[in-house]
Amino acid sequence: MTLLVAVLHFSFGFQYVVVLTDSMKPNINPGDLVVIYPSRDVHPGDVVLYRIELGGTEYRIIHRVVAIRTDQEGRIYYVTKGDNRKYTDPWRVYPDQVVGKLLFVIPYVGRLYYYLPLIITALILSLMAIIGYELVKILLEEEEKPSKGPAIVLRRSRDMYMLRRSRRPGRGRF
């Protein structure tokens, strides 16, 4: 499935967009994933994805084309409107702004698609934490298990050291 998505995107220019607003309800709901194919052949009634700059920020909007008109310079533009809106959009959408037309909608999958980078990051961090924990555990186990010979020698030398420190002249047997 991932290979198919990659081939369609990079070879044929398909776009995958998660819908975040309710402007296209009831046909397209927030959280739906829409698949857009590149097309410049737009007619009234088509649902298109277009780019528009508002306030210095570029937005990608998916709305229905309700009319095709020409401006004073003779250029064609589209009048768009969300299915769940009373009024048309206040801007003109020119053909060079259109990314493509709606191919199909996959309900609810957009939520997973939208949060996929976060999910993958969390999985990678969890995996790194588990690997780090296991490595530290292995290293500490190696330090705790020295051979029996040096442990006895260290214990004896420590006991002898303690005995020497505890001796006081004129007291005890030593």
- Burial label for 37, CB within 10 Å (0-12, 13-18, 19+), is middle
Question: Is 63 annotated as catalytic?
Answer: yes
Those residues whose C-beta lies under 8 Å from the C-beta of residue 70, and which sit 6 or more positions away, are: 76, 77
Task: Tally the residues of the chain.
Answer: 174
Question: Is 11 annotated as catalytic?
Answer: no
Question: Is 157 annotated as catalytic?
Answer: no
Q: How far apart are CA 28 and CA 161, in angstroms?
A: 82
| Choice among 11, 89, 96, 126 that is catalytic | 89
CA-closest candidate to residue 31, choices 116, 118, 114, 117:
114
| Choice among 9, 23, 32, 41 that is catalytic | 23
Q: How far apart are CA 16 and CA 38, in angstroms?
A: 11
| Choice among 63, 147, 157, 159 that is catalytic | 63
Annotated catalytic residues are 23, 63, 89
